[in-house]
Amino acid sequence: MRKSIRHLIEDTFLMIIILLNIFDFAGFLPGDIDYIKKIASWTLVAYLFYSLDISKILFGKSSHDINVLIIISYILLAFRKFTASVDLLAEKSMLFQRFFEFIGLHSSIIEEFTFMAGGLILLLLSVYMARKFGIRKQSLLGIIQESGKPPKQLWGMGIRSITIFIVLSSFFIVLFEYIIEWLAIVTDAPLIMLLIAGYLFYVIRRHKKYNLEKIIYKIGHFGEDFYKRFVSLFNQKKTIFIAVSGILTLHLLIDLATFILPFIIAFFKPVYFGYLDPATHQNIYALLANNLHNAAGIISKAFVILAYLLNTIGIMLLLFLPAFVWYSFFKWKKIKISAIKLGIFLCSVTALIVSPVFRMTKFSDKSIVGVDIQTSGIQNPEIAIIAALIVLALVIFLSKISFIKRCFIAFSLGIVNLMVASYAYLYFISNANYFISAITSVIQDGKYLIALQLFVFFGIVMLFYIIALAAYTGISIKEFKKIS
C-alpha cells in the first residue's frame, strides 16, 4: 500500500515537472514559475547525485553524512548559475519580481559568500576524509592513489588531503556543475520535449500500446538511469577514460538542444538567448524567408530551400554523431553504415562547408563559457547544392567497392573527430579566458582564497579537455575497426 502511494506521488510530481517544461517550451510559463521549476529541477539533480553515493565511488565505502556535505558544498559552489539568470527571469515575473530584483541587486555578495562557503566545506571534508577514511581498490581514489588505511605520517596525510580535494573539485567542475547547467537550467524543457517526441516515435514505429504511467516513468527516469550508469564508469581504471570522453561528447549533444532546436522551432526562445546578439541568433525560417525574397525564379528558390535543409541536417549530424560513436563503443555495438547514409552525411557537410548557415565560435563575453553557435543568411546556394549532389553521387556509386567505402567511412570519422577537436579547442579557449579574467579580478580585490579555488578549477578544466579529446580520438579509432 505504501509503495503504491509512493509511486503515485512520484508519478504526480513527474507529471507536474513534465507539464511545466512543456509550458516553458511553448513560452507560456511566467518567469517566477519558471524559476520555481528550475529550483525543483536543481533539487532533483542534487538528490540524484546524492543517491549515486559519491563517497562509495571515491573510497569504496558509503557515508550518508559525507554525501550530504558534498552535495551542500557543490550546491553552494554552483549557486552563481542561478543568480546569473535572475535578471532575465525578473522581466517575465508576475509574483516575485521584487524578490528577483533583490537577488539581482545583491548577486555579487551572494555568489562570493556561497562560493567561499562551498570551497571551505570541500577543503575541510578532504582533510577529514584523509584522516578517517581508508581507500579500497574498487574506487576512484584507489585507481589514482595507493589503497589502504589513512596514512599516519603528516606528509602522507597532506598528500592524501590534496588528492581528495582535487578529485572532489574535479567531480564538481566537470560533472556536477555541467549536469546542473544542462539538465536544470539550460536544456530542461528542450530535453523533455525531445524525450516525449522520441518515445512517441518509438511507440508508433513499434506499434506498442502505451499508457500514461509508463510514458511519465520513461521520461522522468531517463536522465537518472543514464546518469547512474555513466558515473559508474569512474569506478574502474579501464573505463574511466570512456567516462571522461563521454562528458566531452555530451557538450556537443547538449548544444543540439541548446541552440539548434530553438533555431528550428522558432517559437521557443530559451532564457539564455537574452544574453546573445539577436542578429546572429535568428531562427532559420526568418533567414530562409529573407533569402527566398532575394532569390529570382523557382529554381533559385529551390536551391535556397535545399541548401538550408542540408545545412540543418549537417549541423545536427555533426553534433549528434560524436555521442553516437561514443555510445556504440560503450555498448559494444557494431555500427552498420549504408552507402546512402554515408552519402547523406558527406553531402550535407559539404553544403554546410561551402555555404554555411551555422557557424561555431567562442562567446565574445568572457563571463559566458562555452561554444556559441550563430546563424546567418546563406550565400551561393547553387554552388553548395551542386557540390553536395556531386559528393552524394560519388559516394553512392563508389561505395560499391568495399575498400573505397572504408575510405569514405574513415574520412567521415575524421570529420566527426575534427568537430570534437574544434569543440574541445573552443571550450578550452573560452574557459581559459573566463578563468584568467576571473582570477585576475579577485586577486586585484585581495580575495586570495577565491583565487586559489578558481586556479584549481582552471587547472582541472584545462587538463580535462586535453585528456577527453585524446580519449575520444582513441575510442573513434577503435570504433572504426567495427564499422561496416
> pLDDT averaged over the chain?
79
Higher pLDDT, 94 or 357: 357
What CA dihedral angle connects 195, 199, 204 and 205, to 10 degrees? Answer: 100
Domain residue ranges of the chain, discontinuous segments joined by +: 16-189, 255-480
State the pLDDT at residue 95. Answer: 65
State the pLDDT at residue 420. Answer: 94
Q: Look at residue 14 and tell me whether its pLDDT is greater than 70.
A: no
Q: Which three cell numbers stand for residue 472?
A: 575520444
Local structure of 179: helix, strand or coil = helix
Q: How many C-beta neighbours within 10 Å does residue 421 have?
A: 13
Q: Look at residue 481 and tell me whether its pLDDT is greater than 90.
A: no
Residue 284's identity, in one-letter code, is I
Q: Which of 217-231, 302-316, 459-473 shows the lowest per-residue confidence on average (mean pLDDT)?
A: 217-231
Q: Look at residue 315 and tell me whether its pLDDT is greater than 90.
A: yes
By C-alpha distance, which of 167, 163, 174 is closest to 428?
A: 174
Q: Which three cell numbers stand for residue 243?
A: 567516462
Q: Are 372 and 361 in contact (CB under 8 A)?
A: yes
Confidence of residue 202 (pLDDT cuts 50, 70, 90): very low
Q: Are 248 and 468 in contact (CB under 8 A)?
A: yes
By C-alpha distance, which of 426, 322, 450, 434 is closest to 374?
A: 426
State the pLDDT at residue 174. Answer: 85
Q: Look at residue 207 and tell me whether its pLDDT is greater than 50.
A: no
Confidence of residue 362 (pLDDT cuts 50, 70, 90): confident
Higher pLDDT, 345 or 370: 345
Q: Are 284 and 308 in contact (CB under 8 A)?
A: yes
Q: Look at residue 193 and tell me whether its pLDDT is greater than 60.
A: no
State the pLDDT at residue 214. Answer: 55
What's the CA gap between 289 and 377, in Å, rounded? Answer: 10
Q: Look at residue 158 and tell me whether its pLDDT is greater than 80.
A: yes
State the pLDDT at residue 199. Answer: 47
Q: Look at residue 267 and tell me whether its pLDDT is greater than 90.
A: no
Confidence of residue 3 (pLDDT cuts 50, 70, 90): very low
Q: pLDDT (tens digit, 9 = 90+) per residue, 21-63? A: 655 655 555 556 666 667 777 777 777 777 777 787 777 777 8
Q: Look at residue 201 and tell me whether its pLDDT is greater than 50.
A: no
Q: Look at residue 208 and tell me whether its pLDDT is greater than 60.
A: no
State the pLDDT at residue 396. Answer: 92
Residue 293's identity, in one-letter code, is H
Local structure of 65: helix, strand or coil = helix
Q: How many C-beta neighbours within 10 Å does residue 407 have?
A: 13
Q: pLDDT (tens digit, 9 = 90+) per residue, 88-128? A: 665 666 666 677 777 767 777 888 888 999 999 999 998 88
Q: What are phi and psi of 358, to 5 degrees?
A: -110, 140
State the pLDDT at residue 179. Answer: 78
State the pLDDT at residue 213. Answer: 52
What's the CA gap between 365 and 389, in Å, rounded? Answer: 39
Q: Which three cell numbers stand for residue 255?
A: 548544444
State the pLDDT at residue 205. Answer: 46
CB contact set of 289 (below 8 Å; sequence gap of 6+): none
Please report the DSSP string for 327-349 in residue order. HHHHHTPPP---HHHHHHHHHHH
State the pLDDT at residue 135. Answer: 75
State the pLDDT at residue 177. Answer: 84
Q: Which three cell numbers stand for residue 108?
A: 555579487
Q: Which of 143-152, 178-187, 293-302 shows the lowest per-residue confidence on average (mean pLDDT)?
A: 178-187
Higher pLDDT, 390 or 112: 390
Share of the chain above pLDDT 90, in %: 27
Residue 184 DSSP symbol:
I
- Over range 286-308, report the average pLDDT: 89
State the pLDDT at residue 239. Answer: 79
Q: pLDDT (tens digit, 9 = 90+) per residue, 397-449? A: 998 898 999 999 999 999 999 999 999 999 999 999 989 988 998 999 888 88
What's the CA gap between 308 and 288, in Å, rounded? Answer: 7
**In angstroms, what CA-CA distances link 165 with 20, 45, 127, 152, 343?**
38, 22, 8, 19, 49
What's the CA gap between 148 and 133, in Å, rounded? Answer: 9
Q: Which three cell numbers stand for residue 439?
A: 582570477
Q: Which three cell numbers stand for residue 43?
A: 533539487
State the pLDDT at residue 2. Answer: 47
State the pLDDT at residue 352. Answer: 94
Q: Look at residue 369 and tell me whether its pLDDT is greater than 50.
A: yes
Q: Look at residue 478 and tell me whether its pLDDT is greater than 50.
A: yes
Share of the chain above pLDDT 70, in %: 75
